[in-house]
Amino acid sequence: MKKGIRYTLWTVILLALLLTGGGYYMLGYSLRPEGLARSRDVQGSLEYMFTTYPHLVEWVDSLQQAGALGELYMESHEGVNLHALYIAGAVPTRRTAVIVHGYTDNAIRMLMVAYIYNKMMGFNVLLPDLYAHGQSGGDAIRMGWKDRIDVLQWMERADELFGRHNEEVGEGDSTTYRSTGTQMVVHGISMGAATTMMVAGEVEHGLWQMPYVKCFVEDCGYTSVWDEFASELKARFSLPAFPLMHVTNLLCRLEYGWSFSEASALKQLKKSTRPMLFIHGDKDDFVPTRMVYPLYDTKAGDKELWVVPGVGHAHACKDYPEEYAQRVRAFVEKYMD
């Protein structure tokens, strides 16, 4: 073999090894980050929430005393044990919110949103721990894509838990009773918002038709996993998407059975017509604010957009608690009977 050809071959092999090593590093960095440990820390999460949102302490105590706060477990379609918290409304109601947490968070870290729906609006609430988060099984983050199927299963569980009570029809001797389902909103923040949009693309079609889902709230979700990771690759490592993203994408397919390129909230929204409220901070540099505009433009049907001034990633509820609650309540209650 000629020296030049041999040199070229070894260069190609070296580049392939470097790219593969870089791809595995990026895969672990994004889907099995060190920060995932905080999601597993239940007590630390409670302490953080009670410190950051002091009004939650008395509310959670009252829920525990009333027996209104509980836990559920479910086996996913893949055979993984998943965990969720649930909160019953103070008065029996069909109105139910399924609330989806973000990247390296957990169900507990969404209690500030649960407070809005349960304490302020009287809803039942279900808060899943996504795969590999909180008290659910799993070993790698799935960025909402495969999570959408787990959340759809949780939505069915929530409908069974809160929607199967009898409703009185008629009066006097003609009174009869009928079983009723829920009226449901799905609300997610960050990765949970992307999950919510991915869920929205399923509930009107195919196996997962859910007429009881009335509307959605997405707070700072990304257009796609590819777009989010490419943005972070540039922001944190000053690297272009090609070729490292392409290699990492392939490795994700081989290792975990899904790819960044298919995991698109934007594509899922093209299949959705049910109402959606879009929320995004105008100072968000983790999920860049620019992503909300194509999402909003793509969505058919009733929709509203609130770009929150001066707010970074996932801080709208914390920085504007009263307005956040008011806007969520005004939007969601338009679509509930």
**Stretch 161-176: mean pLDDT:** 61
Burial bucket for residue 58 (CB in 10 Å: 0-12, 13-18, 19+) = exposed
Overall average pLDDT of the 91-109 stretch: 97
Query: What would the mean pLDDT of 175-199 be, rounded to a whole number?
Result: 86
Who contacts 174 (Cβ-Cβ below 8 Å, separation ≥6)?
none
Q: Which pLDDT tens digit goes with each residue over 54-64?
A: 999 999 999 99
Q: What is the pLDDT of residue 6?
A: 67
pLDDT band, very low/low/confident/very high, at 13 (cuts 50, 70, 90): confident
Give the mean pLDDT of 278-291: 98
Q: What is the pLDDT of residues 52-89, one digit of tens each?
A: 999 999 999 999 999 999 999 999 999 999 999 999 99
Residues 120-156: b if buried by 16+ CB within 10 A, e if exposed: ebebbbbbbbbbbbbbbbbebbbbbbbbbbbbbbbbe
Q: How far apart are CA 58 and CA 67, in angstroms?
A: 14
Mean pLDDT for the stretch of residues 19-41: 95
User: HEC states along 117-136?
Assistant: HHHHCCCEEEEEECCCCCCC
pLDDT (mean) for 230-245 = 95
| Rounded average pLDDT over 89-113 | 97
Range list of H helices, the chain: 3-31, 36-40, 42-52, 55-66, 111-115, 147-163, 191-200, 225-237, 244-256, 265-269, 292-298, 316-319, 321-333
Provide the pLDDT for residue 207: 85
pLDDT over 70 (residue 242): yes
Residue 94: closest CA among 38, 166, 24:
166
- Hey, which CATH number is domain 40-224+263-333, 3.40.50.300, 3.40.50.1820, 3.40.50.720, 3.10.20.600? 3.40.50.1820
| 3-state secondary structure at position 26 | helix
Orientation angle between helical segments 225-237 and 3-31, nearest 10 degrees: 110
Nearest to 116 by CA among 46, 59, 76, 176: 59
Q: Is pLDDT above 90 for 14?
A: no
Does residue 290 contact residue 317 with C-beta atoms inside 8 Å?
A: no
Q: Which percentage of the chain shows pLDDT scores above 90? A: 87
Q: Is pLDDT of 240 > 50?
A: yes
pLDDT of residue 166 exceeding 50, the answer is: no
- Burial class from Cβ neighbours inside 10 Å (0-12, 13-18, 19+) for residue 317 reads buried
Measured from the Cβ of residue 184, the count of other Cβ atoms closer than 10 Å reads: 27
DSSP characters for 181-232?
A: --EEEEEEETHHHHHHHHHHTTTTSGGG--TTEEEEEEES--SBHHHHHHHH
pLDDT at 20 (0 to 100): 93
pLDDT (0 to 100) of residue 281 = 98
Q: Are 186 and 172 in contact (CB under 8 A)?
A: no
User: What band does 177 get if pLDDT is binned at 50, 70 and 90?
Assistant: very low
What are 111-146's pLDDT values in tens digits? Answer: 999 999 999 999 999 999 999 999 999 999 999 999
As a whole number, mean pLDDT of residues 321-325 equals 98
> Where are the domains positioned within the chain?
1-31+225-261, 40-224+263-333
